[in-house]
Amino acid sequence: MASVLDSSMTAVWPIDELRPRRAHRKSRKGCKTCKIRKVKCDEQQPICGGCARRFRGMKSCEYELFVESSEGSFQSFPAAPLPVTSHEKWKVQHSLTMHPNGSTSSDGSRLLELRLMHHYTTSTCGQLPEGNSSKGKYMWSMDIPRLAFQSDLVLSALLGISALHHAALTPADLGLSRAAEIYFDKAVTSHRQALSNADRGSAESLLATAILICHHAWLSAHTSVPGQHYEIPLQTYHMARGIQTLFDQMWPWLAGSAYLWYVERLPLEDVEHVASGGSFWTSGQEDLDLLSRTFEHPEVLKRDKCVYEATAMELKSLYLAIDIQDSQPGIQRRVATMPLKIPKRFLNLAEKKDPRALALLARNIALLNMTPHVWWLHGASSSQSVAETAITGISEMLPIEWKWAMKWPLRVISGEFSQE
């Protein structure tokens, strides 16, 4: 299965290089969160720099108390809990004291895992793609939990996506946001390692984990943080391409799998023989025709022009599907995966902030507002407003002479076109 490692998955989850050993003793005084994530902690108190950047609104880290022995080594003791007032007690008990700490013997960790498993099976699973269809229900609510009870890899990814969903519904519970980050990091790290030992027995677990990681990354990339500039979720798109590559590599082991529908390519609408269309189709067509004129400029390379034209054709097909009120779950999946169906160079152009690529990507993301709200695609809180966050961010990336290209996407997210 070495060929799997040669795929694009390695560009997303590369195997860490071995690092030379330190000549000095490694500090063990970092906060518990940094220890779990296995990252260097600057040991600042009451909150370290890493947690301050990563967890918005967090006031303090949890440290162990270290006492130096006569031999120069350190002995650790759990830090005494800070006193809390009666009205704070419930919130602390149900969030900040119940974060995963990497030990299955921790009562707090086990309670949190039970809480998140319950939330996933009763709520989150129905908020994922095709969650209300028979094939979606089987995959999300039955097969993935079954795999999670057999594989710590799938369990970490499941708990992470559940914590992310729960945190979106209860944003005041900062412990859930921390748990989502920790489980996500653990799932990504474990997935990297497991890819090198892929076999028939682990194929479904690897694919299920990759799918959950990708959905987690999409929503995390579109969670707005005050003072932080928007970045195009290129990693998510590369992960999604990696899922397709992984599926292709493991196809002999996945025949009859419950995941076949997830990776199937949905057909394009025939835009060449449309006699007439509604206001949305007509407006979108006129807008793309205007943008397409810039593809003819002398500075545009021939290969890039082909990429732009392929993207515009995909968008036109989506416009028509929306206009004729095609299957909503199908439209949602096509909007989410459009950048994967066009030449890979499109993502390279977007990464370079090519104005035409950014304008086309904005038109794709704006279509989220033309579909019924679902958590896996749109987010579930003011900080997870995917379309608004992305369109505003892309608009800020474009130079002044290209601001006109954002008028139509802004009209879409403003609600000018009805979903009816």
Q: Got the DSSP string for 213-257? A: HHHHHHHHHT---TT------HHHHHHHHHHHHHHHHTGGG-TT-
CA distance 274 to 282: 11
Residue, of 20 and 399, whose pLDDT is higher: 399
Task: Choose among 247, 220, 214, 248: nearest CA to 339.
Answer: 214
CA 103 to chain centre: 26
Looking at every residue in the chain, the average pLDDT score rounds to 78
Task: Report the length, in residues, of the chain.
Answer: 420
- pLDDT score at 205: 93
Give the Cβ contact number of residue 322 at 10 Å.
23
Domain-embedded: residue 163: yes
Question: Are 298 and 397 in a shared domain?
Answer: yes
pLDDT for 24-33, tens place per residue?
A: 455 667 887 7
- pLDDT score at 81: 37
- pLDDT score at 31: 80
Question: Are 113 and 141 in a shared domain?
Answer: yes
Task: Please enumerate in sequence order all residues whose Cβ is within 8 A of that of 179, keeping only pairs 6 or more positions apart, or say none.
Answer: 98, 99, 100, 112, 116, 159, 160, 163, 167
65 pLDDT above the threshold of 70: no
Domain-embedded: residue 55: no
Domain-embedded: residue 39: no
Domain-embedded: residue 273: no
Domain-embedded: residue 190: yes
Percentage with pLDDT > 70 across the chain: 75
Within 2-59, residue ranges assigned H as helices are 2-5, 9-12, 32-37, 49-54
Question: Are 199 and 312 in a shared domain?
Answer: no
- pLDDT score at 147: 95
Question: Are 308 and 377 in a shared domain?
Answer: yes
Residue, of 233 and 380, whose pLDDT is higher: 233
Task: Identify the domain boundary among 208, 235, 263.
Answer: 263
pLDDT for 394-416, tens place per residue?
A: 999 999 999 999 999 999 998 88
Give the Cβ contact number of residue 172 at 10 Å.
9
Q: Label residue 21 by pLDDT band (50, 70, 90).
A: very low
Q: Label residue 321 by pLDDT band (50, 70, 90).
A: confident
What's the total number of domains in the chain?
A: 2
- pLDDT score at 35: 76
Question: Are 139 and 201 in a shared domain?
Answer: yes
Question: Are 208 and 288 in a shared domain?
Answer: no
Question: Are 248 and 291 in a shared domain?
Answer: no
Average pLDDT estimate for 339-368: 93
212 pLDDT above the threshold of 90: yes
2 pLDDT above the threshold of 60: no
Q: Label residue 234 by pLDDT band (50, 70, 90).
A: confident
Q: What is the 3-state composition of the chain as percent helix, strand, coil, each rounded to the nearest 5?
A: 60, 0, 35
Domain-embedded: residue 287: yes
Question: Are 133 and 232 in a shared domain?
Answer: yes
Q: Label residue 119 by pLDDT band (50, 70, 90).
A: very high
Please report, as a single letter, which amino acid is at residue 211: I
Q: What is the dihedral of CA 37, 40, 46, 47, to 10 degrees?
A: -60
Question: Are 317 and 219 in a shared domain?
Answer: no
Task: Identify the domain boundary among 263, 296, 327.
Answer: 263
Q: Label residue 73 by pLDDT band (50, 70, 90).
A: very low
- pLDDT score at 47: 81
Question: Are 151 and 242 in a shared domain?
Answer: yes
CA distance 23 to 75: 21
CA distance 246 to 258: 15
Report if pTM > 0.85: no
Residue, of 223 and 31, whose pLDDT is higher: 31
Domain-embedded: residue 140: yes
Q: Quote the domain boundaries for residue 384.
A: 279-413
- pLDDT score at 248: 84
- pLDDT score at 382: 60
Domain-embedded: residue 185: yes
Task: Identify the domain boundary among 263, 287, 309.
Answer: 263
Lowest-confidence pick of 108-122, 226-240, 365-379: 226-240
8-state DSSP, 268: P
Question: Are 341 and 243 in a shared domain?
Answer: no
pLDDT for 251-280, tens place per residue?
A: 888 877 888 888 776 555 555 545 556 788
The pair of structure tokens assigned to 258 is 């419950």
Average pLDDT estimate for 157-180: 92
CA distance 71 to 25: 14
- pLDDT score at 329: 84
Question: Are 381 and 344 in a shared domain?
Answer: yes
